[in-house]
Each structure stands twice: as C-alpha cells, then as structure tokens.
Amino acid sequence: MNARPKLAVAVVLLVFAAAMAACLPVAAWAAEQPSLMLTAAPAKLVNGASTKLTAAVGVPGATLTLSRRRADKAEFAVVATAVASPSGAVSWTRKPTRSVTFRVDFAGDETWAAASTETSVGVRPRIKLDVRARKPLLETRRIRCTVTVRPAHPGGVVQLRRRTADGWTTVKDLTLDDESRAVVSVAAGKPGRLVVRADMAADADHLAGRSPWWRTTVYDRRNPYGVPTKYPHLILVDRSKYKLYYHEYGRVVRVFDCVLGRPGLPTPKGHFRIYAKDPHMGGAYGPFRMRYLGLYAIHGTNEPWLLGRFPRNYSHGCTRLANANITWLYSRVHVGTPVWNVP
C-alpha cells in the first residue's frame, strides 16, 4: 500500500475516534441525570381538604426534600424530607390553606446529578351559605342569607347570585365582616323554582370559590302550597299551623282553624281522597263528617273552645272544625275530593 491510502485511512480513524470521544461525556452525563417527577392529586381543592404529593425518582434510597412557596413569599421553605422506597417513590399528604407551589429536591451523589422539580396546588375558599325561609315560601316574603368564608377573608366581597333563564345573576354584593361573615335579607321573587349560591372571585392566595346551591319553591300568594289548578275542589291541612285551606282550581278560597291529633295519635301525613260523607252526626262529630282514611275524618266538634288554643292537639287524629265551618265546607265538597295533609 502506498503512502496516500495509508494517510486516508489514518484520517478516517482519527475522525471516528474524535467523534466517539465527543459522545462519551454526553452519554455519561445523561446516565447521571435522575428522572424526577412531582405530582399532586388533586391539584385543585377546597380549603380543609388534603392533597397527596408523590415524588418519583430513579434512585432507590435517595433522600428527597419537599419545600413550598406561597404567593406572598419569594423563597421556598422546607416542610419535609423522606427517603425514596425501593421503587424510587416518596409521598406526602398536605392540607394547604391557600394556593401554593411545592418543590422537591434531590441533592445528588457520586453517581447522580442534583435535580429538582415543582408543581402547583390551587386552593378554593370554603364558602357556606345558610338560608332561612318560611315554608311555604310565598312571593311576597323574604329569605335571610348568611354567608361564611374559611379561611377568614375580612373585608372580602362575596356575590349572592340567583339562577335565572339567562344564567347566574348577582342579587347582592356582600362585604364580609371581621368574622368573615355576611348576612342579608332579599326578596323571594316571582313564583317558581328559586336557586341561589354565593360566589367569591379569585385573589392572590385563593382560586375562585362558590357555595353549594340552595333550592326551594316560591309559591303564588294565592296558592301558597302549589296546588295544581286541575282540581275543582281540594282540602289541604297544614299540620304545623293547625289550619285547613279549601282550594278551588288552585286558589285558596277559605282558611279555617282546626284541631288535630293529640301526641300518640297524630293526624296522618299524606295525600288522600274523601270516600264517604256522613250527615246528621251529632255529639263529638258535630253536624257533619267526611272520611278520607279509615276512621280518620274531617268533622265538627262539641268542644269549640279548643279552637281558641295553640297548639291544638286534642283529637284522636281527626281534623275538627267549628260547626259553622264544617257546615259550609260539607256543602261544597264531594266524594273523591283530594285531601292533602302536610307537611
């Protein structure tokens, strides 16, 4: 072989050797980088709930350090350390009160280079909405709403919102007091389904939050119990008020005080129908009786003074009316008329 081919072969070998030498440090460095990951489940939560932080590193037995940084802080603060399991995993359970960034650090050793990674956990304020309303809730009445926020946000603003056909509409902006609480009274509004909630916008420390919904039905003042208009006659007895409401096509025509069942023999709750009308009763039944469930009935009384007391739990489960009122009602009600005893 002459000199020129030998020189060419030598040059190729030198170039190949140089390329291999250049690759070796890169491969060695890649082998020294641990695979470090940090996850949070859940990554968004409500104040008071917990999140599980899981760090995975490709180094069994490695010591990992967990740090956190809140929005108002510039630096991370160490909160925990742990040794990786044989599978290379570490987990912590934390209960943050505000949004926070977590970081996990591996210091490295003679084999592996140092590494770190971060993940964020968003925290929503816990908003409680307590609503007090009379039942049945009529369109002319008001509801009392109390909003409480945790953690405390004195001076914070909460929106009381009502669901409408166009979406959620703000009814009132509420400013929280020193106890992170606000109270407001608002009108029940038009008859129909009433759904309200309390919302709070996001700030530096927390994600936007909202309370669970509160639902009820608002009734027409002329039909306070939502009686369907299909019934030409309907008797409704409100056991909590000791009152009998006589309806015609969904409208209240007359309201009577009544005596109901004594303790141990309560007036039954439910929907029934009058199955028998008995005239000329006399005695404890008064002049008339209308039966709707076995011997349970609506009738008059021979003890009219009991109607002047409250509460009026004196009967054996029947509904007693003043004799003049049972006489008026008896002439208008037919067999088959619905009887609703509520609540």
Task: Kindly state whether residues 48 and 75 are assigned to the same domain.
Answer: yes
Task: Kindly state whether residues 163 and 102 are assigned to the same domain.
Answer: no
Residue 31 has pLDDT above 70, yes or no: no
The CB density around residue 71, as the number of other CB atoms within 10 Å, is: 12
Indicate whether 21 belongs to any domain.
Answer: no
Indicate whether 187 belongs to any domain.
Answer: yes
pLDDT of residue 30: 46
- Greater confidence (150 vs 311) lies with 150
Instruction: Read off the DSSP letter of residue 259.
Output: B
For residue 329, what are the domain limits?
A: 234-342
> For residue range 275-297, what is the model confidence (pLDDT) as tens digits?
999 999 999 999 999 999 999 99
> For residue range 48-65, what is the model confidence (pLDDT) as tens digits?
999 999 999 988 999 999
Q: What percent of the chain has pLDDT over 70?
A: 91
What is the spatial distance between Cα 244 and Cα 332, in angstroms, rounded to a whole number?
14
Q: For the whole model, what pTM was predicted?
A: 0.68
Residue 268, domain CATH = 2.40.440.10
The CB density around residue 38, as the number of other CB atoms within 10 Å, is: 19
pLDDT band at residue 2 under the 50/70/90 scheme: low
Task: Kindly state whether residues 161 and 98 are assigned to the same domain.
Answer: no
Indicate whether 242 belongs to any domain.
Answer: yes
Across the chain, mean pLDDT equals 89
CB 99 within 8 A of CB 119: no
- Number of structural domains, the chain? 3
CB 62 within 8 A of CB 106: yes
**33, amino acid identity:** Q
Cα–Cα distances in Å, from 321 out to 252, 281, 298?
Answer: 17, 14, 7
- Give the SS3 label for residue 220: coil
